[in-house]
Amino acid sequence: MTLASSARLDPQQARRHARLGGLLYLAIIGLGLFGEVAVRGALVLPGDAAATASNIAASPLLWRAGIAGDLLMQLLDLPVMLLLYLLLKPVHARLALLATGVNLIQTAVLAVNKLNLLLPLLLLDRAGASALSGFSAEQAQALAALAIRLHGYGFGLGLLFFGLACLLRAPLLWRAAYLPRLLGPLMAAAGLAYLINSAALLLAPALADALFPAILAPAFVGELALALWLLIKGVDRDRWAEARP
């Protein structure tokens, strides 16, 4: 699959691309929920560094699985971005390319941000952390909690770019005759939700805590709707043939 070949996609190829994109998008959503809910939601106790450290030390494999799942999510972002570009290019090639470029920045930021989740494992591994022998257990726990909090800010920073990518794709989805127009407003709502949540996290953390997770409900609905439609219905082949560049 190449960008050059996108101009020659026939309707059946476009539907296969859409369904593959939907499948991978659903996997990304599932991996994201696993990392945030099943791992960090279960092990991290905000405001209690000692309890959080105890939970991570007792379940290091689960913590590592969360990191691995997050990284797999970032890897799956790459084919999804390409597939969305191919599907939205007939509407407006340059806008589709811009959305892809902004999305790439988000993926790069989130991938590098995973280093903050590796730091607690190093800090809490007292047997193998000879370089940290000068830290007390309480200091190591505090630093681990700080790394986890920093990851939260890095996550918010990455989602600023993803929110913008969603907003850039919204008019493309609205104008794509071979997809339902409702996906455009849903994706716009998702982008606004991400931008508001990230801006609040960076500028007014107390407000972000009050808004989360309700503020991200539109994002979940919009992304899930797009993923399910692509997987189950794909594109309208007749209208794709008419819109093909």
Domain ranges of the chain: 9-243
DSSP one-letter code for 4: G
> Is the confidence at residue 130, as pLDDT, over 80?
no
Among 144, 142, 151, smallest CA distance to 121 is for 144
Evaluated on CA atoms 76, 82, 85, 87, the torsion sign reads: negative
Among 20, 6, 10, smallest CA distance to 234 is for 20
pLDDT of residue 209: 82
pLDDT of residue 238: 87
| Distance, CA of 184 to CA of 170 (rounded, Å) | 4
Average pLDDT over residues 104-124: 94
Average pLDDT over residues 174-202: 95
> Is the confidence at residue 126, as pLDDT, over 90?
no
Count of helices and strands (H, E) across the chain:
11, 0
Average pLDDT, the chain: 90
Average pLDDT over residues 104-131: 84
pLDDT of residue 92: 95
Average pLDDT over residues 185-214: 91
Q: What is the pLDDT of residues 1-52, one digit of tens each?
A: 444 444 568 889 999 999 999 999 999 999 999 999 999 999 999 889 999 9
Q: What is the pLDDT of residues 181-194, one digit of tens each?
A: 999 999 999 999 99
Look at phi and psi of residue 135 and say left if phi exceeds 0, alpha if psi is from -120 to 50, else beta.
Answer: beta
Among 123, 122, 127, 116, smallest CA distance to 139 is for 123
Average pLDDT over residues 175-180: 95
